[in-house]
Amino acid sequence: MKKILLFVIVTLLCLSCRQQKIIKVAHRGASGYLPEHTLEAVALAHSWDIDYIEPDLVMTKDDQLIVMHDPHLDTTTNVKDLFPNRARADGRFYAVDFSLDEIKKLSVHERVNLETGEAVFPGRFPHGRSHFEVPSFIEYIELVQGLNKSTGKKIGIIPEIKAPEFHESEGKDIVSKTLFVLKSYGYEENGQAIIQCFEPNTLKMIKNKTNIPLLQLIAVNEWKESSADYDKMLTDDGLKEIATYAKYIGPYLPQLYDIKNDRAFKNDVMKLAHKYDLKVAPYTIRDDAIFKPFENKKEMMSFVLGELEVDGLFSDFADKL
C-alpha cells in the first residue's frame, strides 16, 4: 500500500513539474476577449496565471514604437475613416506614414477581413463598441511593470520586431530603437523579456548587442513573411544553426505534426529542437480556430500537451492554458 501511495505521489509531482514548465504567453494580450494589443487587453491578461504578454512592434513616421501586429493600420483601426487620403498605391495605410499623435487619434477594433469587411473572429468583442487606443511601446511596458509592482507578479514581455526588412527599406532602424527601449526599462538585467522575430539575420545581429534571450519565429514559406527559408529552419541543420543565436523557436503549430488518415502524428521537429537545447513554443492556440485534424480544442490540447510535450504556447485565450 505504501509503495502504491508513493508511486501516486511521485506521479502527481511529475505532472505538476511538467505543468510548471509550460511557458504561457498571452498572444497580443487577452486578444480573445478584447481588441488585440490594447492596454485593456494587457491589463486583463496580466490578471491571469501566465508568464509573458506579447507585444508586436512597428514604427511610426516620427520614429516611435507602437504596439501593432501589422505594419498596416487598416486591419484593426478606423484609419480609413479618419485619414481617407493617406493610403499608398496598394490601398493600404502604413504606420510609418503617420506620426504617433495621428495614430493616437485612431480607434482600435477587432481584426477584420479587408475584402469582406467582416470580423475575422465574429464571436469576439463587438466591432465598433467602446474606444480603444493604439498604445506606444513605452505605455505598454509601463503598464506591465506597474501591474507587476502593485500585484507582486513578475510577468514578462516577449516583443516581436515586425518586418525589419520593410522598416529598413523605409529608413527606420526598428532594431536599435527596440533594444534602446528595453535597456532603458531594465530588461537587460531583470530577465523578464524575450525578443522574437521571423527574420533570422535580424536575430543574429541582435545576439551581439544584448543578453536578452531570443526566439526564432518560424513561418510557412508561402506566407512570404520574410526572405528566409522556413522549411530549411525545421531541418536538423536549420535547427542547429538557430541554436547558435536563439534559445527558443516559435513554429506554427501544424509544423510539429503530420496528418495521416485524419489523425495527427508527431514529427521529428520537437526531438531535433531539443537535441540542440531549443525550447519550443508554437503558435497560436485559439478557442475559435481549431487546427486540423482535431475535432475540438480538448482533443487538440490533449495532443499538444500529451504527445508533442511542447515547452510553451502562444494563445489568444491564455487564461485557459
What is the set of active-site residues? 27, 69
Q: How far is CA 178 from the centre of its chain?
A: 16
Q: How far is CA 197 from the centre of its chain?
A: 9
